């Protein structure tokens, strides 16, 4: 069972955000503590060197430091100087005014001491960070559990509701057909049938959104499939002109999922079109990109159009194009849109 199977997109986002927040917060805190500790360790090293030099200045019995007698310079006594090549401290000679004792420690050995401190500090730091990493993962999984459980319950609830839709919708369709046979075609009955079909489309979209099964692919004749969907849409949107110019193109995809993608784009192109508007389907010159162009109202914010619950019209609930984007991702189809208000929109599907 893979990562994608265990966690869906919302859960992964929640996990990553909580993990990142917890891990970075602790990392910054621990880094600050270790930096402070490292600084104090360097100060302690300097203090140790100075104190050893001070003791050595009394009896000069030390092999660790180089001893020299120099003319008293304009240097402060009892102070550790970090020169380029060594560290030096100057001490007074009893009953002498012109000379002083210089005790020095080579820079190479000093750097080795610092390197040893760094190695110990880094080893300890990475050990602690490994513990923090494991704690962050456990903490994030723990905080994720209520969300995961709530999403599971919500998903089961929606599936139950969708299943319960079948009986009343079937009754509505059956009674609408009986009324049409008894009284003939009428605007009211047509509206009822279209409303039922809209609910069925929404039900299909929601099922597709909740379905997590692996999509089986097959080779399809694109032009024939689009002819079939255009004919279906033309029956529901008689005032809109549909034109399919796709011919001789075969694709390898899942038929049901791709049909839902096309149906969503065609119905949107028809619903949000102008009076006596048009919807065209054609391939780009590369013969790999399907274009669905409408003469509709256009989209104000094309970059947001695939976001869940985003909508610019009163109609709908704003999940149709989000589902289209989700299905395209599962089928490996790149989708983008170009739109201009009051001119129309064009959706590009790179197959």
pLDDT tens digit sequence for 21-48? 999 999 999 999 999 999 999 999 999 9
CB 15 within 8 A of CB 146: no
Residue 328 and residue 221 in one domain: yes
Per-residue tokens: 119: 């190695």
DSSP for 156-175, written as a single string: HHHHHHHHHHHHHHHHHHHH
Choosing from 117, 146, 175, the residue where a domain stops is: 146
Choosing from 89, 118, 146, the residue where a domain stops is: 146
pLDDT of residue 5: 46
Please tell me the total count of domains within the chain: 2
Choosing from 146, 178, 200, the residue where a domain stops is: 146
pLDDT at 66 over 80: yes
Residue 134 and residue 265 in one domain: no
pLDDT of residue 107: 92
pLDDT of residue 7: 54
pLDDT at 329 over 70: yes
Cα dihedral sign, 92-95-97-100: negative
CA atoms within 13 A on the CB side of 166: 7
- Name residue 337's beta-bridge partners: 347
User: What's the average model confidence in pLDDT over 276-284?
Assistant: 93
Q: For the chain, give percent helix, strand, coil, nearest 5.
A: 60, 20, 25
pLDDT at 313 over 80: no
Rounded to whole angstroms, how far apart are CA atoms 127 and 132?
Answer: 9
Per-residue tokens: 13: 């986002």
User: What's the average model confidence in pLDDT over 97-118?
Assistant: 90
Rounded to whole angstroms, how far apart are CA atoms 302 and 340?
Answer: 9
Range of the domain at 90: 3-146
pLDDT of residue 1: 38
Residue 139 and residue 220 in one domain: no
The per-residue pLDDT of the chain, averaged, comes to: 84
User: What's the average model confidence in pLDDT over 286-309?
Assistant: 88
pLDDT at 333 over 90: yes
Determine the straight-line distance between the first and last CA of the chain, rounded to whole angstroms.
29
Q: Which of 78-82, 167-171, 314-318 has the lowest mean pLDDT?
A: 314-318
Residue 32 and residue 135 in one domain: yes
> Does 181 reside within a domain?
no
Residue 139 and residue 224 in one domain: no
pLDDT of residue 256: 83
Q: What is the CA radius of gyration of the chain?
A: 38
Rounded to whole angstroms, how far apart are CA atoms 350 and 334?
Answer: 5
Choose between 194 and 328: higher pLDDT.
Answer: 328
Per-residue tokens: 297: 């109202």
Beta strand pairing call for 278-283 and 289-294: antiparallel
pLDDT at 300 over 70: yes
pLDDT band at residue 4 using 50, 70 and 90 as cut-offs:
very low
Rounded to whole angstroms, how far apart are CA atoms 30 and 103?
Answer: 38
Rounded to whole angstroms, how far apart are CA atoms 78 and 50?
Answer: 8
pLDDT at 124 over 50: yes
pLDDT in tens, 157-180: 777 777 777 778 778 878 878 887
pLDDT of residue 215: 65
pTM comes to: 0.51
């Amino acid at each position: 069972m893979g990562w994608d199977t265990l966690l869906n997109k919302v859960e992964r986002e929640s996990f990553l955000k909580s993990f990142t927040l917890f891990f970075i917060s602790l990392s910054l805190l621990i880094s600050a503590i270790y930096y402070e500790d490292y600084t104090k360790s360097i100060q302690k090293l300097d203090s140790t060197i100075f104190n050893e030099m001070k003791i050595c200045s009394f009896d000069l019995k030390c092999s660790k430091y180089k001893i020299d007698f120099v003319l008293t310079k304009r240097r402060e006594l009892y102070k550790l100087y970090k020169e380029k090549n060594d560290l030096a401290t100057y001490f007074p000679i009893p009953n002498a005014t012109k000379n002083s004792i210089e005790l020095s420690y080579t820079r190479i050995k000093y750097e080795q001491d610092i390197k040893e401190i760094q190695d110990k500090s880094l080893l300890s730091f990475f050990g602690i960070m490994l513990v923090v990493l494991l704690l962050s993962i456990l903490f994030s999984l723990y905080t994720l559990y209520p969300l995961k459980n709530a999403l599971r319950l919500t998903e089961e609830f929606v599936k139950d509701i969708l299943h319960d839709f079948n009986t009343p919708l079937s009754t509505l369709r059956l009674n609408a057909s009986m009324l049409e046979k008894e009284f003939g075609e009428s605007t009211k009955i047509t509206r009822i049938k279209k409303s039922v079909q809209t609910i069925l489309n929404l039900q299909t979209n929601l099922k597709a959104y909740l379905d997590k099964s692996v999509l089986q692919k097959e080779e399809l004749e694109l032009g024939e499939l689009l002819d079939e969907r255009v004919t279906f849409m033309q029956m529901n949107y008689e005032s809109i002109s549909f034109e399919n110019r796709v011919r001789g193109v075969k694709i390898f995809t899942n038929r049901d999922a791709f049909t839902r993608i096309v149906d969503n784009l065609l119905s949107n192109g028809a619903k949000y079109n102008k009076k006596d508007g048009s919807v065209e389907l054609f391939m780009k010159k590369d013969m790999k990109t399907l274009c669905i162009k409408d003469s509709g109202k256009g989209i104000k914010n094309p970059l947001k159009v695939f976001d869940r619950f985003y909508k610019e019209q009163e109609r709908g609930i704003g999940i149709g194009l989000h589902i289209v984007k989700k299905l395209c991702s599962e089928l490996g189809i790149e989708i983008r849109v170009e739109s201009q208000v009051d001119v129309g929109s064009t959706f590009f599907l790179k197959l």
